[in-house]
Structure 1
Amino acid sequence: MRGLATRTAAGRPPTHHTASSAFRLLLILCGLTVLLLTSAATLAAAPARAADAPAASRPPAQAAYLADRLRENPVHVTDQLPREVPPSMAPDFARLAERTRVPTYVLVLPGQSTSGEDDLLGAVHDRLGRDGLFVLLDESGVRQAAAYGVRAPAEAARTTAAFELPYDAGPLRSFELFVDVVAQGPERAKARADAAHERFRDDHEPERMYIGPSDRQNQSFVTGIALTGVPLTILLLALCVRRARRRFPRAAPPRPKDDGRPTATRPKWRRLLVPGLALATAVAIALTAPLVFDQTKRGPAPLPTSGDMTARVERIAKGLAQDPVYADPESPRVLDEAELSGLHDRIERFGRSEGGGPVYVTVVPHLSEDESAGDGELFAAAVRTKLSRVDGVGEADGVYVVADPLTGYIDVFNHGLRLESLPLNFDLPESIAYGDDRADEADDHLLGERLDALMTYLDEAPRTDEPTTFGNPARAPGPKEENSLPPLFATDFWPGLFVGAVAALLLAGLVAGVLGIVGAVLRRRRPTPLPPDALPLLSPTEPSEEYLRRTARTELEAADEAIIAEADEAQAGGEVSRIAAAWDRFEAAMLLIDGDVDEERSPQTPGADPATLLAVIVLARASRNALDGDTNDRCCGVNPLHGPSVGRRHVRVSAEGNRRRMLSLCPLCLDSATAAPHELRERKLTLPGPAGTRVPYDEPEGSPLWVLSDGISRLASAVRESSRVH
């Protein structure tokens, strides 16, 4: 059996066992092949995955850089916001940070410089290796805060600063309120934050602390309107009121100028009262307007030093002197190692190409608060000038690429290379300059890919025979000029002066129209004096005191209007005597009721007795008669209300005795004296007496009417003499 077996094994191949070994070997070889291929694929795919990793998973160079800065100084103020937060403000932040009574680390960075502020503060804390209160601010105020290893109400203080202050309060004022709330303790800080949030939710937004140029223009416009409008309105309204008072019922007429008697004139100080008031108002407005509109700045930013304005450009120029690609360490990293390496290779090849040269790429934010006011052309020119001084080899010619990691925009400026400069700046493809939809959605704006496309565009750009330079950028506005408001008495102040004058004229015209309408209505509604022909027939024999008072007021108003209407015309025509006679009688009537015509007081009649009222009626009517040219100085002796006399007769007007008197009679009474003498006794005017009795008009004691029989002029003289005695 052993021999058979041995032979069998030696004489023919072992078919079963040999096949199994080969199959096993084949499996081993296949496994090794798959393993090698997988390892190779993994190694080949590793760079691609690293390139496709999001910015948040890349090495946090930003946090490491900021941690190094805080290790040197617990307050780091960026040099990218010199117009709003100059680096020289760092001691102010440090002084405020001491109030928190805990270790405080302050970072002042441009707004939107990070995609996750909480991650940034945490990363900075981890790399710094120190506990404390970490605060992140931007140009508007406290943006984020976190406490690590210390007891501090960071979030409550941040909420309070956000809701209690207006948006233009500035970072220093915001940080001051923040540290004050932190110092109050957790409980009070939380209560204050809740109250501030509640007020803000109820639309109680804090008012702005500063104004802008448009607000200053509005202030200047209002000041100009007030400076001319208010004084001119005072002058014009005073004129309107004075003219209206002369035309209103019961207004005193002007005294004729050439009546032969001294004229009572208004005191000079009273004449100058209204102009003086207008002048004083103008001076007051001019002096108080700068005190009311006392703002001189647009915002809280202090004036930066020259070092603040050049710090970032110097930092970038030093970096470009060592490396043609400068990525801002304070901003999130948007170019990985592979992209940087590829960009360096493309720059080196372009420098060796025909018509090529140096390319300087800056990946830094550009904001309106930086030294160039956000102007990439100014920034590139400043970097070139500073780089020339750093290298010490003359002008640093080359292509300057300005890439903004915040917006993703790319600008290109040629300085001294043999390239066509205008196409680089104005005809750059939009996919490179601004990016497409993919770039808008990406955190890094695909800057690495777009910069690579830019280098391809530069390789293919047309060359020129001579070096060219793009443009000649204008100077950026100075920080003081930019943050200063225009003077109050400038800009729209001058149009305001004109508008104020026009507004005053319109207002005066409106007031004059209203006063004219009111005066016309009052004149239309007041009683109309009886015509002279109707006086004997319509005048009562036993008038009541109310009738006398009403008639006296009506006659005075009529005389007033008549004198005003004819004064100027009569004086121009040389008829001064007629106006003087009318004025003489009107003035006597005014004196009877204590009306001071020099002060233009309205001729009110309260307190006058019936005899005085009758004398006022007689004098007022005689004043109008004088204007009409009637020189008759006597009125009806039977009833003075009958008007002027036309003759004289001896008549008996008393029922007692046969005594006759020589009286002046009106036409009606003159006819009755011949035809029916007994009727004159019934027509004799009586006035209300004491205890309801009636007394003849010429009998009351102390009455001015006792001289009426001597004429109206004598009555006027007696009234004037009596007024001087009293």
Structure 2
Amino acid sequence: MLAALCPLLLFGVGVSTGTGAGTAHAAAKSGTATAPTQAAALADLLRADPVYVTDQLPRDVPRSTAPQFKKLAQRTKVPTYVLVLPEQGVGSDRLLAAVHDRLGRDGLYVLVDDMGVAEATAFGVRAPADDASTVALYELPYDAGPLLSFERFTDVIAQGGEKAAERAEAAREKHGETGGEAAKMHIDPVDRDNQSFVTGIALSGVPLLIVGISPYVRRWRRRVTGAGAPKAAAPKAAAPEAAVPRRLTARRVEAGAAVLVAGAIALGASLVFDQETSGAAPPPTASDLSSRVERVADGLRKSGPVYGDPESPRVLDSAQRRELGDRVAEFGRGPVFVAVVPQLTEDESAGDPEQFVEAVRQKMGAKGDHGVYVVADPLGGSIDVVTYDVRIDANLIAFDLPDSIRYGDDDDRSADHRLGERLDDLMTFLGKAPRTEQPETSSLAMDDAPDPVEENELSPLFSGDFWPGLLVGAFAAGLVFGIVAALLGLLRLAVPGLRRPRTTSTPSATTSFEAPPDPSLGYLRRTARDELDALAREFDQQDQQDQAALASAVRTRVWDCLDTATLLADRDPDGHIDDDATPADLAAAVVLARAGRGALVGADKTCCALNPLHGPATGWRDAQYAPDDQRLRTIPVCAQCRVLVSVQPRLAYTLRLTLPGPRRGERVPYEEVPGPLPAARDGIPQLIRQVREYAGVQ
């Protein structure tokens, strides 16, 4: 059925496929015969060899892979014609039909681009082309590469129609619109940097944690065992020389365990992160990288100053080529060479027209030493010009070439990008360019095209971000060590059986509150409500239980804190936080409420200078207070902040409280916000006075 309809379909679309609507229109208008179409040129190539691999994609599909495509094509058991070309865009399905019409041979026609199998159609043979294309599309990730995509395609073709249909349906259900995409097969350089960074963190952080925390864990376990065991007769004291070897043995075991863990991490990372390349492209040979350049240079030498790529859509008809040739012959500043060839990131010059022109010029020898080189892209539509030793201002070409010539009109959607008209305009522009006294050459201060092998190689795992990862891992180990030590210390204080025997009086009670350094408005509203309720409840309970125990000064302080906090957050007061309360007012209310709660347990001290929301400070430490101020200031800090400040005083500013600013996403340090909150640095009494002045209450 399909084979019977092909002549009818090709009658309507055959010409437009090869030449484009714009070219056909130009040919009809000029009354001349069009140049051989893209489909005709491709049919001639397939007539010589049923598998054709372009020379325009050496970075993704080198021509040296042609034998592999041929071997895979034999699996289909039907005549198979394969075209490996750059992405053709719209009309790629019609291209296969046009090629089949001109070749005149039935078989399975497959179009492969740099991503994989793009189109496939069976003409006069039984082959599940659509199902095989579906399987190759859904079962493989986008980075599988064209060779693996074609291999999967031929495998499905070889299974026959029934199995191919079942497999295609299963692929649609698993990876279709409602399913997930197949996991990618390769990683990029960013992924490798992340792997190196994580490996460095683990390789330094985990062994350091083992060495640092193990002594604390051993002592904690001894205390737990001692606290839970019944008392017995005291054994004889161990000799000092016997205790020392035991401690040394434990430390050696811990150090050995850390070394073993480090080795296991390094070996495991090497086995897990074993990728060596960032893509599926095989390394191209020197012949792969020079093939297209030699072809274009040979065409310019033998066929005249205008060379059109036979693999690409024809964008210049015979009349346009003849007219362009006449304009080039009349140009009096030097020879002009026009190459109508695609410029792709996958080609030998990585899509750089100047690199391409320089390579072509070198291949042309003495004939190409001087002249104007024009590269017109039939796929993208761009025009680039490079001059060598001609009497034209090189800056004029580089900076003053009109965009209408270089890129075309923004609303131009013609198949030929109006390249014929634009090249004619280019020759007019060059002819009117002022003549310079001395020949000039375009500025070619360019780097060499990236080596495709090096470009595809991944950096070694133990390089790059691995070294910063080691530093971060060491810092993280120190931070975790400090947190664990603090938690074990708090646990020792909370569990009577774990406390060390004390020879001095018990210190006064302290209170520490949790609070992030960058609270949101919602967090501040919830916390202000909870803290006001908690302070009122605790104040009432303690006052009722033991009025005598609650000193008059403490009672006054707690009442002042409750009163001023309510003034800021609930001015009505109706038991609800005001809707118009600012973040600074809510934060000040939380600080006052927590200061009042601290006063109830005897912790009436200055607030933590880094984050007043943490409540009373427990000591003074040297810390860097601001990121742009390298000085170390002695400031009061709470128990939470003291852990980091003691280990990394230069990072103390990361814990400083910031509040939402007037602009979206802006954060403002708490001491710079309007209102009474900055007075918290000077003590709770000063904050209370500032709040009353702020609220107009004496």
How far 1:161 sits from its partner (Å)? 0.4
Find out whether 1:192 has 2:162 as its counterpart.
no
Find out whether 1:202 has 2:178 as its counterpart.
yes
Equivalent residue number for residue 315 of structure 1: 295
Match 2:311 to one of 330, 348, 353: 330
Do the aligned partners of 1:240 and 1:508 also contact (CA within 8 Å) in 2?
no
Do the aligned partners of 2:38 and 2:313 also contact (CA within 8 Å) in 1?
yes
Match 2:153 to one of 171, 174, 178: 178
Match 1:84 to one of 60, 66, 75: 60
When residues 430 and 127 of structure 1 are mapped into structure 2, their CA distance, relative to the original with a 3 A threshold, is same
Q: Deviations over 1:274-311 (max 9, x none)?
A: 11101111111122211110000011111111111000
Q: Distance in 1 between matches of 2:254 and 2:379?
A: 64
SS in 2 for 1:437: coil
Do the aligned partners of 1:248 and 1:519 also contact (CA within 8 Å) in 2?
no
When residues 262 and 177 of structure 1 are mapped into structure 2, their CA distance, relative to the original with a 3 A threshold, is closer
User: What stretches of structure 1 of length at least 5 have no aligned partner?
Assistant: 1-46, 527-556, 566-726
Equivalent residue number for residue 222 of structure 1: 198
Find out whether 1:413 has 2:401 as its counterpart.
no
Do the aligned partners of 1:140 and 1:168 also contact (CA within 8 Å) in 2?
yes
Equivalent residue number for residue 465 of structure 1: 437
Equivalent residue number for residue 511 of structure 2: none
Equivalent residue number for residue 381 of structure 1: 358
How far 1:426 sits from its partner (Å)? 2.3
Written as runs of structure 1 = structure 2, the 5 A alignment for 1:140-179 is: 140-179=115-154
Q: Distance in 1 between matches of 2:51 and 2:291?
A: 17
Written as runs of structure 1 = structure 2, the 5 A alignment for 1:357-436 is: 357-388=334-365, 393=366, 395-436=368-409
Equivalent residue number for residue 683 of structure 1: none
How far 1:106 sits from its partner (Å)? 0.6
When residues 261 and 484 of structure 1 are mapped into structure 2, their CA distance, relative to the original with a 3 A threshold, is closer
How far 1:323 sits from its partner (Å)? 1.4
Q: Deviations over 1:616-655 (max 9, x none)?
A: xxxxxxxxxxxxxxxxxxxxxxxxxxxxxxxxxxxxxxxx
Equivalent residue number for residue 536 of structure 1: none
RMSD: 2.8
When residues 508 and 261 of structure 1 are mapped into structure 2, their CA distance, relative to the original with a 3 A threshold, is closer
When residues 260 and 434 of structure 1 are mapped into structure 2, their CA distance, relative to the original with a 3 A threshold, is closer
Equivalent residue number for residue 475 of structure 1: 448
Match 2:257 to one of 253, 277, 288: 277
Equivalent residue number for residue 46 of structure 2: 70
Equivalent residue number for residue 467 of structure 2: 494
Do the aligned partners of 2:34 and 2:318 also contact (CA within 8 Å) in 1?
no
SS in 2 for 1:150: coil
Counterpart residue type for residue 110 of structure 1: P
Q: Distance in 2 between matches of 1:437 and 1:294?
A: 46
Equivalent residue number for residue 587 of structure 1: none
Written as runs of structure 1 = structure 2, the 5 A alignment for 1:605-616 is: none
Do the aligned partners of 1:246 and 1:564 also contact (CA within 8 Å) in 2?
no
Q: Distance in 2 between matches of 1:236 and 1:271?
A: 10
When residues 231 and 146 of structure 1 are mapped into structure 2, their CA distance, relative to the original with a 3 A threshold, is same
Equivalent residue number for residue 3 of structure 1: none
How far 1:86 sits from its partner (Å)? 0.5
Written as runs of structure 1 = structure 2, the 5 A alignment for 1:255-654 is: 263-267=242-246, 268-321=248-301, 322-350=303-331, 353=332, 356-388=333-365, 393=366, 395-439=368-412, 441-470=413-442, 471-523=444-496, 561=501
SS in 2 for 1:459: helix
Between the aligned residues of both structures, percent identity stands at 56
Q: Distance in 2 between matches of 1:277 and 1:308?
A: 53
Equivalent residue number for residue 233 of structure 1: 209
When residues 184 and 53 of structure 1 are mapped into structure 2, their CA distance, relative to the original with a 3 A threshold, is farther
Q: Which has the larger radius of gyration?
A: 1
How far 1:60 sits from its partner (Å)? 5.9
Do the aligned partners of 2:335 and 2:370 also contact (CA within 8 Å) in 1?
yes
Q: Distance in 2 between matches of 1:223 and 1:65?
A: 53
SS in 1 for 2:114: coil
Q: Distance in 2 between matches of 1:221 and 1:340?
A: 57
Written as runs of structure 1 = structure 2, the 5 A alignment for 1:51-130 is: 51=27, 61-112=37-88, 115-130=90-105
Do the aligned partners of 1:249 and 1:519 also contact (CA within 8 Å) in 2?
no
**Deviating more after overlay: 273-282 vs 462-471:** 462-471
Counterpart residue type for residue 347 of structure 1: V
How far 1:348 sits from its partner (Å)? 0.9
Q: Distance in 2 between matches of 1:232 and 1:474?
A: 45
When residues 454 and 50 of structure 1 are mapped into structure 2, their CA distance, relative to the original with a 3 A threshold, is closer
Q: Deviations over 1:91-121 (max 9, x none)?
A: 0000011110111111000012x54122211
Do the aligned partners of 1:136 and 1:144 also contact (CA within 8 Å) in 2?
yes
How far 1:248 sits from its partner (Å)? 6.3
Do the aligned partners of 1:247 and 1:561 also contact (CA within 8 Å) in 2?
no
How far 1:425 sits from its partner (Å)? 1.9
SS in 2 for 1:70: helix
Q: Distance in 2 between matches of 1:301 and 1:151?
A: 31
Do the aligned partners of 1:238 and 1:274 also contact (CA within 8 Å) in 2?
yes
Q: Deviations over 1:330-361 (max 9, x none)?
A: 011111122112111111111xx2xx011111
How far 1:271 sits from its partner (Å)? 3.1
Q: Distance in 1 between matches of 2:61 and 2:418?
A: 30
How far 1:487 sits from its partner (Å)? 1.1
When residues 262 and 101 of structure 1 are mapped into structure 2, their CA distance, relative to the original with a 3 A threshold, is closer
Equivalent residue number for residue 691 of structure 2: none
When residues 261 and 286 of structure 1 are mapped into structure 2, their CA distance, relative to the original with a 3 A threshold, is closer
Q: Distance in 2 between matches of 1:146 and 1:511?
A: 66
**Deviating more after overlay: 283-292 vs 66-75:** 283-292
How far 1:226 sits from its partner (Å)? 0.6
When residues 249 and 89 of structure 1 are mapped into structure 2, their CA distance, relative to the original with a 3 A threshold, is closer
Q: Deviations over 1:529-571 (max 9, x none)?
A: xxxxxxxxxxxxxxxxxxxxxxxxxxxx88x726999xxxxxx
With the length of structure 1 as denominator, give the TM-score of the two structures. 0.62
Counterpart residue type for residue 56 of structure 2: Q
Q: How many residues align?
A: 473
Do the aligned partners of 1:249 and 1:561 also contact (CA within 8 Å) in 2?
no
Counterpart residue type for residue 440 of structure 2: T
Counterpart residue type for residue 142 of structure 2: Y
How far 1:202 sits from its partner (Å)? 2.2
User: What stretches of structure 2 of length at least 5 have no aligned partner?
Assistant: 1-22, 506-698
Do the aligned partners of 1:316 and 1:383 also contact (CA within 8 Å) in 2?
yes
Q: Distance in 2 between matches of 1:406 and 1:49?
A: 18
How far 1:395 sits from its partner (Å)? 4.8
When residues 427 and 246 of structure 1 are mapped into structure 2, their CA distance, relative to the original with a 3 A threshold, is farther
When residues 48 and 488 of structure 1 are mapped into structure 2, their CA distance, relative to the original with a 3 A threshold, is closer
Do the aligned partners of 2:220 and 2:488 also contact (CA within 8 Å) in 1?
yes
SS in 2 for 1:401: strand
How far 1:463 sits from its partner (Å)? 2.0
